[in-house]
Each structure stands twice: as structure tokens, then as C-alpha cells.
């Protein structure tokens, strides 16, 4: 008897327990670890993941598996193990971890088909009754699954998911000749002479050696009406079916092939230990620290080339917003169709297509955002994380994992190098490199010895004192005008979207707040509404103050929309494009705006942090940061680090090419070390300063953090539960741990639900994780009963 151990998909049950199910005779040998199965659970049938096969169980009344949901495993042995580890480290349930590893398509509504591959033997054709494919449902009904399983095993057929992705058309009707040539010739003779079009079509099929083709195209080519094609389908000459439309998002792009550049001395020095690690199959984590433009990407490309030469595969992670066509181009340009691309701006179907290329071993390299770290490669030779300091590598929903940790874990398993690249490494990584945990590699010079652009810091308080009330300092404004005249491009950076950051009553000081969240509303001029950026609530701006009925309602602060308006007023001749969340919601908008700017159709690009990344246009000679301190005042211990990184990043956008560039940073706190040191491009000093701040505050990298947030619509409940959790944790950690809270979260209410939290700072706490898990399990019944939610975030990046 074979028994499958199954992790069932019942999130509300919140159980990680493994359930044993018997594999019925007819599925014997078919069900393997990593496949999904349907199993009975109480009165219901639910989905689960098979994680192991055993041949003995102590369970008395064991139930049968209902049926497999896959015919090939969707998770391999390594990913199953990785899932165990991730669930432990992130205090999540295995089911959610497994789901995070798979493309969304496998969660969405889909239809499964089993399709014959080219050159498959006759037996299969008989099974499918001369069709190319059969739906899973029908195969099930006709009891064909076991036989088809064998065909899949021997490579004659495959399972395909058709995602029901309404937004995009992805199925097309194709036809294909299914009779032999001599039969067609015979037919040509036999057709009555008035069947002129049919004759014409058969003749065309014969002559052109036609394979699979879209029905409409065939009609056009053969110059026959669509009805003729239908007639030949009826006669069994053509078979008709639906196929997935080719959804390669880069299909229409031609990537010019590039070849490896001779490396500079510094690049060679960095390359050597990486190659050593590849050759000797020894895992090592490298921190490749090099300013923007110092040639990191070229090092990645050549390391990958070596990996491919060894018959292995590579994963390259890039922050979501940096995954621009330019970035993709660098990899596709070098490795062509060996590259798959994965990110969330692709449709669900496109993501699934790219994932499938990886699973079917059709590609060698994947370039993608965070979740690409789970690419199901089986012979990984390298994992690269570019801009490793980016907070988007941390997933902010369950499972709250960090791609860096996952990458290192996979690197250990595959005994291959992991490269973390950055011009401004995270404090955690740089500290590890200092301690020798990571191997530090440095690229200190920009290519062609082009220096970093000069940065001038403008004190906006001085501007105000001098009578300049506009959002542009005299210096910045003069420089913009100068660039306009020289027909060079300017990038203006602002960390706020919308029009105004808050709306206040001049008489009583009341600030318009979202009625559902404890946060001020942002005015959006284009829709004449105020919006809450947390819950999405929007409403008209009141004409009088809800507190004192005064009608002196004013807009304060500035967002991208307001800056745009102001620019239009001040520089009517300038051509301006704006890039922020509001202008890039539509698919492809991001790319279109960049292309527009790159081709010189605009003089000024204005945007939020989206534009800080990946812009590399020769004509940009001025970068302006309108207000460098917006991030500095957030209640987040990483505020200074993020400010430094962002300013350095933005400055790197100017003068990357022949033309010299310069940077103007406007700020109200010019004396702050993160602004000063970013202007001087002095990472090392910033690191030292910031490390001493972290030490004083007992923050990472000196301490680890665990953040527990309790959310409930009843304030009292939120407080009481947080208190109980706090007390429980106190009795479960050592005296070295620091426990803060319960306190209200920095945003105490979102979407009408109150938020309380407690923060644990610790160094070594062997009992902490099991205590946290107990908390989750203890409150789970209440969570599914009355909407209590408890989130546990290990090494949080979002403190709000
Ligand atoms: P980074 O990734 O550190 O920003 P890149 O790899 O993009 O740096 O390199 C910056 C520029 O220098 C690119 O245009 C790249 O093609 C070029 N470059 C990189 N390495 C070399 C080299 N060894 N010789 C000549 N040019 C190079
Ligand atoms: Zn008022
Ligand atoms: Zn809100």
C-alpha cells in the first residue's frame, strides 16, 4: 500500500499537519511528491500538496486520495525542502509558502488540457480520437488519466493550463492537416469539379507543406472563404483546435546581440573568486559593491556565461521597478532566447508562460522580480541579486520572506555562488561583508573614469528667507532653463504622488483625514478629489471645514501633479512627462513613458521613486531632487538609510555618458548626515555613522527584529490581545531580548481596523519562533471567527 503525505490547503484551519491518504490502485505509481491532489477533508473535497510517499501508516481509518490534480510534479524535491525551511523561518504555513513558489496562474481559474506532442505514436492518437488534445475533465470522465500519465512520462504528451484571463485574448483558433499527402492527392482527384474552393485549399495544403496555422491566415493564404476551411474540417482533412496565443511580451522587440567586453583590472579581480566558486561548485555569497556605472552588470553577464558553459542555469533578481526594457535588453542581448522574464506587470498568463519555459528547461536564465528566486531550475549555477538593498525583495504579505535569504539557501543547496550587487549595500549586508560572512568585491571606479556628477545641496529655508516661495530654488530653476536652451534633458524627482500632501483648515488647523484610516488625505487635481493612499477611499474636497465650518480650506505640501502644474506655468515651452503610480496603472505605460522621454520627445521627466532606477539616457545632464527630506521623518529606523540610498541612486542618473551632468538636491535639513554624505557619494562614512546610530538604538544589524501586529475592528480587542501576546512573549524570551509595546502602530487605523503592535529586538532566542508560532495557532480560531488578524514579521521592512 502506498500512502501519500499531504499538506492540505485549508488556510482557515491554519494547520501545518501532514495528513495521510491512501493512493488508490488506479493511481498507483502516478502520484509523486510535489504534485497537487484532491483529497476528502470532512465533508468536502479540497486541494493539497503531496510532500512524501510512505508505505506504512499508523492511522486506522485512512481515506483515499480522490484524484491527482497534476500529472507532473509542480514542485521538485529541492523546493519542497526549501518550503519547510521557509515556513519555519517566516512563521507561516507550508501551504502559503508552496503557493508563493508557484505562478499565480496555478491559483487562478484555469482549465487543464492534455496535449499530444509532435511525433507522438499512434496509440496516443487513438486515445485522443485523432485530436491533438483533450480536456482534463473529459479525460477524467473517459478514465484516460492513467494511460495519459504514461504518455506524459515518456514524453509524448504534456499538460497545459489555460488561464481564464479575461483581460487578454490568449487563445486562437488554429487548424492543421491531419491526413497524409497521398491521401490529399487522392482527394484532389476525387473532389467534384464544382468544389472549386476546396480543391484550391487542398492544393495549397499540398504545395505549401502546411503545418499548424491560424484558420483566418490559412483562408487568406489559400484565397478561400472561411466556409471552405469548415468544410475540410468536416471531411477530416483539417483538425481544428484552440492554442495558446504566443504571449511573449518582448515578442516584437529585436534585441541586438552583444558580446562580452574585455574586463577592466578591477572587474577581473572581482570576477576571479566568482569563477573559482563556479568551477569548484562551492557556495559563497559575494557582495559586489560598486557605484552605478562601475560595470557590475558586465560582471554578472560574464559570470552567467561561464555558468551556461557548464550546462547550468542562472537566476537574476532585479527590483520590480527597475525591470525596464533596458534592463531586460542587456540580458536578452547577451543570451537571446535563453532568457525568461518574470515580473508582476506581465499578465497572469504571460507569467505562467515564462515559468513554463523554465520548468521545461527551454531557457537557461531568468531575469525577474522577487518571486523569480523560486524559478524551478534544477542545476542552478549562480544567483544574482542586483540592487540588493532594495526593500522590494522583502515580501510584505504571507509568507514574509526576503529573497536574499532564500537565494542564499538555494545557493547552499546547489553549491553555487550568490552575488549581491549594489552601489549602496544594505547595512546588514555590508556588516556581514565586514565580518567576512560575505566575500566583499569592490568596483571603485566608473567606466571610462567618468567621475560622479557634482551635487549641490540647496537649503530651502534660505530660499524662503530670501523671499522665494516657489517649489524651485533659484539655482535649480536657472539650471532647468539652461538645459531647455541647450536641448538637454532634466529629471526631477519627488517622493510624493498626487497634488498636495495634505488639506488643512487655515482657521482651526484641522487636517482632512481618511474616515477609515488614521492618515491624512491627498488631493488629486485631475479628478478634483482627495484620496487615501492606504485604503483607496476617495471623496470630494469639502467646501467648508468639518470642525469649524470655516471656508478657508487650503492645500499644503506638494505632489507630482502640483509640480507639473507649476512647471507648465513657469516654463510653458517645456515638454513635460510625469511618471508615478497614477500615470502608470495601465499595462505598458511605464515603458511607453520612458521610450517617449528617451526618444527626445520630452525635456523634463518628473516622477516618484519609480524613475530613480534603471534610467540610463545619454542626454540627461541635470537631476533635481525637489525635497530630499520627505522620507527622513518617517517613523522607521531605516529612514536615513533609505534617504541615502535614494539620493545616491537618483544622482547616479546624471551624466552617465559623454555629456557632463550635475545634481541639485533641495532640502530643509541640509545638515543631516544622510543628505550630506549622499551629496559627497561617501558610502563608507555613511555606513560608519549609521552603524553607530543603529548600535545606540539596538537596531539591525546589531539586533534582529520580530514585529507582531494585532489588527481588529474593535480597539479594545486589539489592545487586549496585544497585551496578552506581550506577556506571553516576555515569559518566553531571555533577559537579553528587548520587548517594546504594546503600542499603537504608526498608522493606528487602516480600513476601519485598529492596529496595535509589539516589537521584539533580540540576538539569540532559541524559543522565540516556537512561541510566535504558538501565538498564531492559539488565536487562529478567533481569527477565522471574528476577523482578528495577527501578523508576524521577522526582520520587518515596513514598520507602519
Ligand atoms: P553597473 O551595472 O555597475 O551600473 P554597467 O555594467 O551597466 O555598470 O556598466 C556601465 C557602462 O560601462 C555600460 O554601458 C557598460 O556597457 C560599460 N562597460 C562595462 N564593463 C565594461 C568594460 N569592461 N569595458 C568597456 N565598457 C564596459
Ligand atoms: Zn476649521
Ligand atoms: Zn483610508
The 10s digit of each residue's pLDDT in 140-167 is 888 888 888 888 877 778 777 665 543 3
Q: Which residues pair with 374 in a beta bridge?
A: none
From 258, 267, 289, 295, mutation site for ligand 1 pocket: most ligand atoms within 8 A of C-beta:
295
Is 719 a residue whose pLDDT tops 50? yes
Going by CA atoms, what residue is nearest to atom 14 of ligand 1?
293
With beta carbons less than 8 A apart as the criterion, state whether 419 and 303 touch: yes
Of all protein residues, the one whose alpha carbon is nearest to atom 10 of ligand 1 is 293
Q: Which domain holds residue 506?
A: 501-542
Residue-level pLDDT at 139: 82
- The whole-number pLDDT of residue 38 equals 86
When pLDDT is averaged across residues 30-48 and rounded to a whole number, the result is 86
pLDDT tens string 763-787: 999 999 999 999 988 888 787 778 8
Cβ 93 vs Cβ 65: under 8 Å: no
CA–centroid distance, 751 to ligand 3, in Å, is 6
Residue 250 has pLDDT above 70, yes or no: no
- 94 and 120 part of one domain: no
Q: What is the pLDDT of residue 510?
A: 81
298 lines ligand 1 (CB under 6 A): yes
Give 164-184 pLDDT, tens digit per residue.
543 343 567 788 888 888 888
Count of the separate structural domains present in the chain: 7
Q: Among residues 635, 661, 693, which one ends one of the domains?
A: 693
How far, in Å, from the CA of 772 to the mean position of ligand 3?
A: 29
Binding residues for Zn(2+): 505, 508, 514, 517, 532, 535, 545, 548
Minimum-distance ligand 1 atom for the alpha carbon of 447: 12
Ligand with minimal distance to 519 CA: 3
Identify the pLDDT of residue 125.
67
Across 166-185, b (16+ Cβ under 10 Å) vs e yields eeeebeeebbbbbbeeeeee
Cross-sheet strand order for the sheet of 67-68: 63-64, 18-22, 3-8, 44-54, 36-41, 67-68
Give the residue, by CA position, lying nearest to ligand 1 atom 23. Answer: 263
Does a structural domain hold residue 651? yes
| 362-411 pLDDT tens trace | 999 999 999 999 999 999 999 999 999 998 999 999 899 999 999 999 99
Residue 252 pLDDT greater than 60, yes or no: no
Q: How confident is the model at residue 427 (pLDDT cuts 50, 70, 90)?
A: very high
30 vs 209, residue with greater confidence: 30
pLDDT digits (tens, 9 = 90+) for 428-454: 999 999 999 999 999 988 876 667 788
Element (H, E) at 395: none
Kindly give the number of the ligand 1 atom that is closest to the alpha carbon of 386: 2
CB-based contacts of 269, cutoff 8 Å, min separation 6:
441
- Are 144 and 154 in a shared domain? yes
> Annotated binding site: which residue ranges?
505, 508, 514, 517, 532, 535, 545, 548
What one-character DSSP code corresponds to residue 785? H
Surface-to-core class of residue 246, CB atoms within 10 Å of its CB (0-12 exposed, 13-18 middle, 19+ buried): exposed
Q: What is the CATH number of the domain that holds 27?
A: 3.40.1440.60
In this predicted structure, what is the pLDDT of residue 101? 94
Ligand 2 center to 503 CA (angstroms): 11
Q: Which atom of ligand 1 is nearest to the CA of 652?
A: 4
Task: Tell me the average pLDDT of the chain.
Answer: 85
Rounded average pLDDT over 517-544: 80
Residue 528 Cα, ligand 2 centroid: separation in angstroms?
20
Q: 401 with 273, same domain?
A: yes
Q: Is the Cβ atom of 151 under 6 angstroms away from ligand 1?
A: no
Cα 351 to Cα 164: distance, rounded to the nearest angstrom: 13
In angstroms, the CA 590 to CA 582 distance is 11
Measured from the CB, is residue 292 less than 6 Å from ligand 1?
A: yes
Which has the minimum average pLDDT: 448-462, 493-507, 526-540?
A: 493-507
Q: Quick one: pLDDT at residue 796?
A: 93
Residue 547 falls within a domain, yes or no? no
Which position has the higher pLDDT, 678 or 495? 678
CA of 520 to the centre of ligand 3 (A): 8
**Percentage of the chain modeled with pLDDT above 70:** 90
Ligand 3 centre to CA of 503 (Å) is 15
By three-state DSSP, how is residue 176 classified?
strand
Comparing 311 with 67, which gets the higher pLDDT?
311
| pLDDT for res 366 | 96
* Residue 264, ligand 1, Cβ within 6 A: yes
Which DSSP letter does residue 372 get? G
Q: Which of 637, 659, 693 is the last residue of a domain?
A: 693
Q: Is residue 256 part of a domain?
A: no
Residue 193 is assigned to a structural domain of this protein: yes
Q: E strands, 203-261, where?
A: 213-214, 238-244
Whether residues 229 and 331 share a domain: the answer is no
Handedness of CA 12, 16, 22, 27 (dihedral sign): positive
In this structure, the answer to whether residues 379 and 300 fall within a common structural domain is yes
Domain match, 325 and 205 both: no
Distances in Å between the Cα of 202 and the Cα atoms of 174, 188, 196, 216 are 16, 7, 10, 16
Cβ proximity of 39 and 48 under 8 Å: yes
283 closest CA partner among 161, 438, 95: 438
On whether both 340 and 426 belong to a single domain, the answer is yes
Taking the C-alpha atoms of residue 703 and residue 760, their distance in angstroms, rounded to an integer, is 9
Q: What are 158's three cell numbers?
A: 504534456
pLDDT on residue 169: 39
Cα of 299 from ligand 1 centre, angstroms? 9
pTM score:
0.81
User: 302 CB less than 6 Å from ligand 1?
Assistant: no
The pLDDT value recorded for residue 322 is 66
Would the CB of 261 count as within 6 Å of ligand 1?
yes
Cβ–Cβ under 8 Å, residues 106 and 98: no
End-to-end CA distance of the chain: 52
> Are residues 315 and 409 located together in one domain of the fold?
yes
Q: Residue 394, preceding bond cis, omega within 30 degrees? A: no
Tens digit of each residue's pLDDT (9 = 90 or more) over 85-117: 999 999 998 988 999 999 887 765 556 778 777
Whichever domain contains 337, its CATH number is: 3.40.50.300
| Residue pair 458/626 in contact by the 8 Å Cβ criterion | no
- E strands, 42-156, where? 44-54, 63-64, 67-68, 110-116, 133-135
Q: Which residues have a beta carbon within 5 Å of ligand 2, which is an ion?
A: 505, 507-508, 510, 545, 547-548, 550
582-616 tens-digit pLDDT: 776 676 777 778 788 888 888 998 888 777 665 66
Q: How far is the CA of 292 from the centre of ligand 1 (A)?
A: 9
**Mean pLDDT value of segment 241-260:** 67
Q: Which of 297, 328, 420, 612 to mutate to test the pocket of ligand 1 (most atoms within 8 A of CB)?
A: 297
Mean pLDDT confidence for 201-218: 83
User: Measured between alpha carbons, how far is 169 from 745 in angstroms, rounded to an integer?
Assistant: 44
Q: Does a structural domain hold residue 450?
A: no
Among 8-12, 211-215, 311-315, 741-745, the least confident range: 8-12
**Helical residues (DSSP H) of 113-209, grouped into ranges:** 122-127, 136-141, 145-153, 181-190, 196-208
Give the count of alpha carbons within 13 A of 616, CB side only. 13
Are 438 and 324 in a shared domain? yes
Average pLDDT over every residue of 253-269: 86
Does a structural domain hold residue 784? yes
Is 293 a pocket residue for ligand 1 (Cβ < 6 Å)? yes
Answer yes or no: is the C-beta of 614 below 6 A from any ligand 1 atom: no
Identify the DSSP state of 382: E
> Closest ligand to 533 CA?
3
For residues 310 and 424, membership in a common domain is answered with yes
Nearest ligand atom owner, CA of 545 = 2
Task: Assess whether 752 and 718 both reside in one domain.
Answer: yes
Ligand lying closest to the C-alpha of residue 749 = 3
- State how far the Cα of 630 lies from the Cα of 495, in Å rounded to an integer: 7
Residues 741/756, Cβ–Cβ less than 8 Å: yes
Nearest CA residue ID for atom 24, ligand 1: 261
Ligand lying nearest the CA atom of residue 546: 2
State whether 315 and 461 are in the same domain: no
CA dist 522 and 495 (Å) reads 13
Query: Is residue 255 situated within a structural domain?
Result: no
Q: Is residue 664 a part of any domain in this protein?
A: yes
**From ligand 1's centre to the CA of 620, what distance in Å?**
18
Q: Which atom of ligand 1 is nearest to the CA of 291?
A: 3
Q: pLDDT-derived band of residue 646, with 50, 70 and 90 as boundaries?
A: confident
Asked if residue 795 lies in contact with residue 705, where contact means CB atoms within 8 angstroms, the answer is yes
- Ligand 2 center–CA 510 separation, angstroms: 5
Q: Which residue has the cell 507649476?
A: 566
Looking at the CA of 549, name the nearest ligand: 2
Band (13; pLDDT cuts 50, 70, 90): low
Amino acid at each position: 500500500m502506498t500512502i501519500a503525505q499531504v499538506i492540505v490547503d485549508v488556510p482557515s484551519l491554519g494547520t501545518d499537519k501532514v495528513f495521510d491518504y491512501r493512493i488508490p490502485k488506479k493511481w498507483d505509481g502516478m502520484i509523486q511528491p510535489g504534485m497537487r491532489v484532491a483529497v476528502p477533508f470532512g465533508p468536502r473535497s479540497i486541494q493539497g500538496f503531496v510532500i512524501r510517499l510512505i508505505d506504512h501508516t499508523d492511522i486506522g481509518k485512512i481515506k483515499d486520495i480522490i484524484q491527482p490534480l497534476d500529472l507532473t510534479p509542480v514542485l521538485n524535491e529541492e523546493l519542497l525542502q526549501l518550503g519547510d525551511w521557509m515556513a519555519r523561518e517566516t512563521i507561516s504555513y507550508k501551504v502559503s509558502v508552496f503557493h508563493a513558489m508557484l505562478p499565480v496562474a496555478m491559483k487562478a481559474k484555469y482549465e487543464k488540457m492534455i496535449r499530444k506532442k509532435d511525433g507522438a505514436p499512434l496509440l496516443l492518437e487513438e486515445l485522443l480520437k485523432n485530436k491533438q488534445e483533450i480536456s482534463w475533465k473529459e479525460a477524467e470522465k473517459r478514465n484516460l488519466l492513467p494511460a495519459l500519465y504514461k504518455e506524459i512520462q515518456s514524453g509524448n504528451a504534456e499538460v497545459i493550463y489555460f488561464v481564464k484571463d479575461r483581460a487578454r485574448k490568449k487563445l486562437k483558433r488554429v487548424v492543421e492537416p491531419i491526413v497524409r499527402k497521398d491521401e490529399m492527392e487522392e482527394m484532389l482527384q476525387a473532389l467534384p469539379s464544382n468544389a472549386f474552393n476546396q480543391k484550391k485549399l487542398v492544393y495549397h495544403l499540398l504545395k505549401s507543406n502546411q503545418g499548424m496555422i491560424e484558420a483566418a491566415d490559412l483562408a487568406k493564404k489559400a484565397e478561400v472563404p472561411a466556409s471552405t476551411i469548415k468544410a475540410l474540417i468536416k471531411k477530416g482533412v483539417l483538425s481544428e483546435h484552440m492554442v495558446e496565443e504566443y504571449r511573449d511580451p518582448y515578442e516584437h522587440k529585436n534585441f541586438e546581440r552583444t558580446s562580452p567586453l574585455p574586463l577592466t583590472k578591477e572587474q577581473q579581480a572581482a570576477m576571479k573568486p566568482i569563477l573559482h566558486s563556479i568551477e569548484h561548485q562551492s557556495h559563497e555569497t559575494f557582495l559586489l559593491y560598486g557605484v552605478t556605472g562601475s560595470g557590475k552588470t558586465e560582471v554578472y553577464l560574464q559570470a552567467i556565461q561561464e555558468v551556461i558553459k557548464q550546462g547550468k542555469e542562472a537566476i537574476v533578481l532585479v527590483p520590480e521597478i527597475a525591470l525596464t526594457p533596458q534592463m531586460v535588453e542587456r540580458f536578452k542581448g547577451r543570451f537571446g532566447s535563453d532568457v525568461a522574464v518574470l515580473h508582476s506587470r506581465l499578465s497572469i498568463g504571460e507569467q505562467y508562460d515564462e515559468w513554463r519555459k523554465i520548468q521545461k528547461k527551454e531557457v537557461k536564465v531568468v531575469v525577474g522580480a522577487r518571486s523569480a528566486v523560486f524559478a524551478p531550475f534544477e542545476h542552478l549555477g549562480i544567483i544574482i541579486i542586483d540592487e540588493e538593498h532594495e526593500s522590494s525583495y522583502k515580501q510584505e504579505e504571507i509568507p514574509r520572506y526576503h529573497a536574499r535569504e532564500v537565494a542564499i539557501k538555494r545557493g547552499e543547496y546547489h553549491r553555487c555562488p550568490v552575488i549581491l550587487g549594489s552601489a549602496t549595500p544594505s547595512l546588514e549586508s555590508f556588516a556581514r561583508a565586514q565580518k567576512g560572512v560575505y566575500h566583499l568585491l569592490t568596483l571603485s571606479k566608473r567606466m571610462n573614469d567618468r567621475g560622479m556628477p557634482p551635487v549641490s545641496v540647496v537649503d530651502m529655508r534660505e530660499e524662503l528667507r530670501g523671499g522665494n516661495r516657489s517649489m524651485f530654488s533659484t539655482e535649480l530653476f536657472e539650471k532647468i532653463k539652461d538645459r531647455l536652451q541647450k536641448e538637454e534633458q532634466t529629471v526631477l524627482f519627488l517622493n510624493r504622488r498626487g497634488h498636495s500632501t495634505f488639506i488643512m483648515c487655515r482657521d482651526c488647523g484641522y487636517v482632512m483625514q481618511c474616515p477609515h484610516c488614521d492618515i491624512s488625505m491627498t488631493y488629486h487635481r485631475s479628478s478634483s478629489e482627495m484620496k487615501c493612499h492606504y485604503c483607496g477611499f476617495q471623496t470630494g474636497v469639502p467646501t467648508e471645514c468639518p470642525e469649524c465650518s470655516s471656508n478657508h480650506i487650503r492645500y499644503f505640501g506638494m505632489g507630482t501633479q502640483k509640480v507639473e502644474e507649476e512647471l507648465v506655468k513657469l516654463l510653458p515651452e517645456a515638454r513635460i512627462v510625469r511618471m508615478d503610480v497614477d500615470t502608470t496603472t495601465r499595462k505598458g505605460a511605464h515603458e511607453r513613458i520612458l521610450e517617449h522621454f528617451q526618444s527626445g520627445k520630452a525635456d523634463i521627466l518628473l516622477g516618484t521613486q519609480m524613475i530613480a532606477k534603471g534610467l540610463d539616457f545619454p542626454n540627461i545632464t541635470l537631476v533635481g531632487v525637489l525635497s530630499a527630506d520627505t522620507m527622513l521623518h518617517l517613523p522607521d529606523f531605516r529612514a536615513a538609510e533609505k534617504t541615502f540610498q535614494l539620493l545616491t541612486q537618483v544622482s547616479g542618473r546624471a551624466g552617465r555618458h559623454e555629456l557632463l551632468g550635475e545634481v541639485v538636491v533641495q532640502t530643509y535639513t541640509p545638515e543631516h548626515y544622510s543628505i550630506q554624505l549622499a551629496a559627497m557619494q561617501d558610502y563608507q562614512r555613511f555606513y560608519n555613522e549609521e552603524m553607530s546610530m543603529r548600535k545606540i538604538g539596538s537596531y539591525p544589524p546589531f539586533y534582529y527584529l520580530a514585529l507582531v501586529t494585532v489588527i481588529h475592528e474593535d480597539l479594545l480587542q486589539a489592545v487586549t490581545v496585544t497585551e496578552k501576546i506581550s506577556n506571553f512573549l516576555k515569559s518566553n524570551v531571555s533577559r537579553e531580548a528587548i520587548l517594546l509595546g504594546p503600542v499603537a502602530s504608526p498608522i493606528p487605523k487602516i480600513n476601519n481596523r485598529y492596529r496595535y503592535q509589539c516589537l521584539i529586538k533580540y540576538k539569540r532566542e532559541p524559543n522565540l519562533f516556537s512561541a510566535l508560532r504558538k501565538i498564531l495557532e492559539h488565536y487562529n480560531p478567533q481569527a477565522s471567527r471574528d476577523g482578528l488578524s495577527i501578523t508576524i514579521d521577522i526582520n520587518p521592512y515596513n514598520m507602519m
